Structure 1
Amino acid sequence: MKSNTTSFATRCGRIFRLLSHLAVGIFIIATRYSRLAQAERAVVTRRWAQQAMRILGVEIKLGGVNPGFYPPNTLLVANHVSWLDIIVLNSCTVSRFVAKREIRGWPVIGWLAHVAGTLFIDRSSRRDASRVNQILADALKSGGCMAVFPEGTTSDGQGLLPFKASLFEAALLADGTVQPVSLRYQLPDGTLLLEAAYIGEISLLQSLRKVLAVPQMEVVLCYGRPLKAGAEGLENRFLLSEAARGEVARGLGLKLEAPTQPTPAPADETRV
């Protein structure tokens, strides 16, 4: 059943408030964000994200156990559906993100992401994955909470793509914890909301228009079982990746086929 859409006046009101809110974020980042301690940055980031959710009419429903406001030495891994994912996650558990290099060139958003501490990776380069892994590991060791989308791209939310294991190496290097998180966008009656998906050839503006047209949107954010990197059964990045994918699938209510044993990459290579 097709959902109703918001009125033109409501959409205009949302976009005006969203642009105003974005301007506030730009002002904070440009004037004082870099001078704040990490704990203060986390407070500012979460408050901004929560307000953005209210403006967009998005209600978050939590499941599982939240690992905390800014859990140290933690690698958050989540399924990837929309550009909204980052805002949704930051409204609950604040993290620095790893994103594809192309986002760095997006107007305004790319600059905001850069100043906010996002790490950009060239997914076509195995050497770049090694570089980012080391940076990730150093950030985790220093008490950071980092986040990645191991599917490597967005999906429509109906399934779960295979996870790329490469960036799980950082959790092993840092002796950290992998925290799986699942995201499901839906209507208040529980129907999967495909309008939230940022997939295919759709532009960011077109995706925003779709989101603004939805009267009420819910995001079910479910924290899975924390995975201690290096523990029994989690001794390498492939085992960590599959265990994390299983937890995310469980949060989404999906059943996965038994994984095939991966062929390890040569010692000097990292898969992307």
Structure 2
Amino acid sequence: MIKKFRIFAALALVATGTLILAPLQILSMKTGLWPETFILKIWHRLIARALGLRIHVKGELSTKRPLLVVSNHISWTDIMVLGSMVDVKFIARADMEGWPLIGMLSKLQRTVFIERERKRTSGEQASEIAGRMAKGDAMVLFAEGSTGDGNLVLPFKSTLFGAASMAIAEGATEQVFIQPVAIVYTRLHGVPLGRRHRPIAAWIGDEDLMPHLKVLLAEGALDVEVHFGEPIAFAKGSNRKETARLMEARVREMAQAALADPRPSR
């Protein structure tokens, strides 16, 4: 009964907030009355609160621009976690565009939707990402190309690091800064999540969204750590694959540190 009430209350909070904030975000996008991420950060925080996410941050988003933020990926909730804290825009897989609520939220923050399997469109997508970075948007790339179970960082795919190369080749900038970020779900109700239970937070592969949403809403009180690493400069002559491997190593190091010594719940 308590879990059912929690789900109902959380959904009511999100629905009410969305009815208020969505028109304000549309107004912001059309008029520029506020920065586009101002309303979105409130919206993300609302959803994070409804889910019971308790966010712990180490480090900070780089102020250097153009900026490509490279992160591991565990769940659709990663977007709420990052979006609630910092002014960023996202690079997401194409099918997310049609998801209820998440798709609408993504469109309202000008997410770049990519089709990883269609090589014909990869150049256009990289060009759009490059253009957005050149205009000052900090773009978030979930570089594994899929979601993991939270225990391991999957190999990073180097393809979309090509957006950094393209921004330089097109003359939009002389260099792009690339910053590693690790997202780690560490505790449930204050108790450390072990290897066996950490996948509770994970949304993997073709798993349906609604069952996973209900689990998170029913449980609540999930701690997540976000670790920001030091950015590196990617310039003409930099190797895309080597950069992808370096970012993968740094994200894995930060993730393992968070898993080994999770911060106390609050």
Query: Given the two structures, how large is their TM-score scaled by the length of structure 1?
Result: 0.82
The one-letter code of the counterpart of 1:58 is L
Partner secondary structure for residue 176 of structure 1: strand
What is aligned with 2:49?
A: 54
Match of 2:183 in 1: 183
- CA apart distance, 1:24: 2.7
By how many angstroms is 1:108 displaced? 4.1
Once the two structures are superposed, the pairs formed by residues 122-141 of structure 1 within 5 Å of their partners are: 122-141=115-134
Distance in 2, matches of 1:41 and 1:6, equals: 37
Evaluate the alpha carbon distance shift between residue 114 and residue 66 of structure 1 in structure 2; reply closer, same or farther with a 3 A threshold. closer
User: Bigger shift: 16-25 or 124-133?
Assistant: 16-25
What is residue 18 of structure 2 aligned with on the other side?
Answer: 22
How far is 1:107 from its partner? 3.3
The reply to whether residue 242 of structure 1 matches residue 237 of structure 2 is: no
SS at match of 2:191: coil
Number of corresponding residues: 245
Partner of 2:261: none
Q: Are residues 1:63 and 2:58 paired?
A: yes
Q: Secondary structure at the match of 1:253?
A: helix
Map of 1:260 onto structure 2: none
Superposition pairs of residues 119-268 of structure 1, within 5 angstroms: 119-174=112-167, 175-187=175-187, 188-192=190-194, 193-230=198-235, 235-253=238-256
Distance in 1, Cα, partners of 2:217 & 2:177: 36
1:34 aligns with 2:30: yes
Which moved further from structure 2: 199-208 or 218-227? 199-208
Tell me the distance in 1 between the aligned counterparts of 2:153 and 2:219: 24
* CA offsets 1:36-90 (integer angstroms, 9 cap, x no match): 26x621222222222322222111111133325xx63111111111111111111
2:2 & 2:127 partners in 1: Cα distance?
A: 46
CA distance 1:96–1:66, change in 2 (3 Å) = closer
Q: How many angstroms does 1:116 deviate by?
A: 1.8
Cα displacement (A) at 1:6: 5.6
Structure 1 window deviating more from structure 2 (104-113 vs 127-136): it is 104-113
Q: Which runs of 5+ in 1 are unaligned?
A: 255-272
Q: Deviations over 1:102-161 (max 9, x none)?
A: 112223432332232111111111121111111111111111111111111111111111
Q: Which amino acid in the other structure matches residue 151 of structure 2?
A: Q
Q: Per-residue CA shift, 1:145-195, capped at 9, x if unaligned?
A: 111111111111111111110111222333211111111112123325321
Structure 2 residue matching 1:92: 3-state secondary structure:
coil
SS of 1:235's partner is coil
Paired with 1:6 and 1:178, the residues of 2 have a C-alpha distance of: 44
Equivalent position SS for 2:68: strand
Structure 1 CA distance for aligned equivalents of residues 238 and 79 of structure 2:
28
The two structures have a TM-score, normalised by structure 2, of: 0.84
Aligned identity (percent) is 27
CA contact (8 A) 1:225 1:247 kept: no
Q: Which runs of 5+ in 2 are unaligned?
A: 168-174, 258-266
Q: Is the 8 A contact 1:6 1:214 kept in 2?
A: no
Is the Cα–Cα contact under 8 Å of residues 157 and 194 in structure 1 kept in the other structure?
A: yes
Cα distance in 2 for residues equivalent to 1:190 and 1:21: 31
Conservation of the 8 A alpha-carbon contact between 1:177 and 1:229: yes
Q: Tell me the SS of whatever aligns to 1:228.
A: strand
